[in-house]
Amino acid sequence: MSVGQFVFMLHSHLPYYRKAGMWPFGEENLYECMAETYVPLLNAISELYDEGIKAKLTVGITPILAEQLDDEHLKHGFVKYLDSRIEKVSKDLERYPDPKVAHSQHLKYLAKYYYDWFNHIKDSFINKYGMDLIGQFKKYQDLGCIEITTSGATHGFSPLLATDSNLNAQFKIGSDTTKRLFGKKASGCWLPECAYRQGYEYAGKDGQKHWRPAIEVTLQNNDIEYFFTESHVIEGGNSIGNRRVIGVYGNIEYIPLPEREATGYDTYSAYWLPDAQVAVMGRNDRAGYQVWSAADGYPGDGCFR
């Protein structure tokens, strides 16, 4: 008997790095994520499927990231990146153990570990997946192992987009890109930065009052049936405390905003919205802390590399 359900959502986004240099803010960031996240994720999904288990994951891949993963220049750049890492750890294997260096035996172990790791990733990428990660995500989507969600075309911050035509273009082009690359329209969407805007009345240049529809109306117009947003959008209250513990910029002080009253809703349910036939789900704080928080989550634990 089922005791409950939950949505295991893995969202991924990276800025546009193509031909923007290598390090520290260029293509190397993408290659690192490919080596340490996207290829290992596909390996895990593949291994489960070979064991007769469908992963049943929701995987968010933003249009900007998907376009880069499908780019020939970046595919070959990734192989060069792996080769450079293999070359470096090969030299470390020759260098250690060194009696003049502290803990050199462990450094030898680490060099061997990463030599095997990068060679395994390279073998998976070239020989198992044919250098086509997008095609592999599509394959496991079509096999019913994962559901792929879309996002805004350029990851534009939706509440600050000046016009409804801008907002519509973001999600239309984003949705079309996902369909082109993965073969079907996504029914779900991760809002860029989880940023939501409700409908509101404003004074136009004509001096008249106009109504600007909520974001979900635009999503519905682009055949999106559900979306993800931040927890405080669902629960109410203050968002500042959450941001101090979630994310890599947790120590930055934020300008205080008016605190909303608690809504009585939580992130353990999905909700239909009144302005459109679209459902919303909020990111769960507790799970977010464990993933992102340097103080409470595994990234800050000494056992996590």
What pTM, to 2 d.p., does this model score? 0.89
Measured CA to CA, the distance from residue 167 to residue 152 in angstroms comes to 9
Residues 205-226, mean pLDDT to the nearest whole number: 95
Residues 255-276, mean pLDDT to the nearest whole number: 84
Half-sphere exposure of 147 (CA within 13 A, CB side): 13
Overall CATH class of domain 150-300: alpha beta
The 146-149 sheet, strands edge to edge: 9-12, 57-61, 146-149
Question: pLDDT digit string (tens) for 56-108?
Answer: 999 999 999 999 999 999 999 999 999 999 999 999 999 999 888 889 999 99
C-alpha angle with apex 87: 83 to 88, nearest 5 degrees? 120
**3-class SS at 43?**
helix
pLDDT interval class at 305 (50, 70, 90): low
Helices H / strands E in the chain, number of each:
11, 9
The 188-190 sheet, strands edge to edge: 188-190, 226-229, 279-282, 271-272
Measured CA to CA, the distance from residue 282 to residue 104 in angstroms comes to 47
Measured CA to CA, the distance from residue 128 to residue 185 in angstroms comes to 26
Question: What's the pLDDT score for residue 244?
Answer: 47
Measured CA to CA, the distance from residue 197 to residue 213 in angstroms comes to 9
Question: What's the pLDDT score for residue 241?
Answer: 47
Which residue ranges make up each domain of the chain?
Answer: 22-57+66-146, 150-300
Question: What's the pLDDT score for residue 290?
Answer: 82
Question: pLDDT digit string (tens) for 127-150?
Answer: 999 999 999 999 999 999 999 999
Half-sphere exposure of 52 (CA within 13 A, CB side): 0
Measured CA to CA, the distance from residue 175 to residue 185 in angstroms comes to 6
Average pLDDT, the chain: 91
- Residues 218, 168 contacting (CB under 8 angstroms): yes
